[in-house]
Amino acid sequence: MPNWSAPKRPAAHAEDALLTAILDGTYPPGSTLPGERDLAAQLGVTRPTLRETLQRLDCEGWLTIQQGKATLVNDFWQEGGLGVLGTLVRHSRRLPADFVPNLLEVRLALAPAYARAAVTRDPGAMAALLAQHATLEDTPQALAAYDWELHHRLTLASGNPVYTLILNGFSEFYVEMAARYFVTSEARSASRAFYRALLEAVRQGDADAVEQITREVMEESIAFWRQAQAGGGA
């Protein structure tokens, strides 16, 4: 039986404990949770609090509540929604090794499209934002914060709010990983070159170039991350 401590905030404790048990394999996909009475006792919460927690996890795709049967643990990679993404990044210490490259591949699929849309719809605002890169401090934290703001603003300006919702799902994780990415001067220099090239394309009104530049740099970022991991870097 998992060693769960008494909660300070019952609902938050119950959710965190259950998610940890799912992610660490205590309750793997396809298994079932203990009965409501036993599980509530193990977690140290009331049964109404447990029911509320289970319903929330059911809605996100972590669990399937079966009337008259034990609650089933889902394969969240196949059945989860955007809520699962946000929850996963809050449990980043338990993420699989390929999670960041997979996330970068998603950004590769999305960023060229939302960058093109953003500079087409509001080139002036995007040019003003890109120009700010020249005054950034040359630190991982400064580049990470700016890179997040740039991509966030690009999604907002694109006119498609779904891009923003997806990006918001891993905002804190994005900045944390970006700070690790920007530890090397090579990574910081490469991104500054990206910002300069993007700014020039925006000023020329070349949406095709914006899309192509973004795609190339997103591809390079995946290769750079994999190289850093292989070399024992961030």
Asked if the model's pLDDT at residue 28 lies above 60, the reply is yes
pLDDT higher than 60, residue 7: no
Backbone angles phi, psi at 64, to 5 degrees: -125, 115
In this predicted structure, the answer to whether residue 1 has a pLDDT above a threshold of 60 is no
Which CATH class, in words, describes the domain spanning 96-230? Answer: mainly alpha
Q: Which of 10-14, 102-106, 125-129, 185-189 has the highest mean pLDDT?
A: 125-129
What pLDDT is attached to residue 64? 95
Domain boundaries in the chain?
A: 10-81, 96-230
Residue 234 is predicted with a pLDDT of 43
The rounded distance, in Å, linking the Cα atoms of 69 and 92 is 32
Q: Give the other-Cβ count within 10 Å of 183's Cβ.
A: 16
What the block records as the tokens of 77 is: 């990679």
Residue type, 100: V
pLDDT band for position 150 (cuts 50, 70, 90): very high
- Range 10-81 classified under CATH 1.10.10.10: yes
Helix (H) or strand (E) holding 108: helix 99-121
> Beta-carbon neighbour count of residue 209 at 10 Å?
17
How many C-beta atoms lie closer than 10 Å to residue 10's C-beta? 19
For residues 114-118, average pLDDT: 97
**What distance lies between CA 60 and its chain's CA centroid?**
15
Q: What's the one-letter identity of residue 136?
A: L
83: pLDDT strictly greater than 80: no
pLDDT of residue 84: 81
Q: What is the mean pLDDT of residues 17-42?
A: 94
Model confidence band, residue 98 (pLDDT cutoffs 50, 70, 90)? confident
In percent, the amount of the chain with pLDDT more than 90 equals 67
Q: Of 99, 139, 138, nearest to 229 (Cα)?
A: 99
* Range scoring the smallest mean pLDDT among 25-34, 92-101, 114-123: 92-101
Provide, for the chain, the percentages of residues in helix, strand and coil under a 3-state DSSP scheme, each rounded to the nearest 5: 70, 0, 25
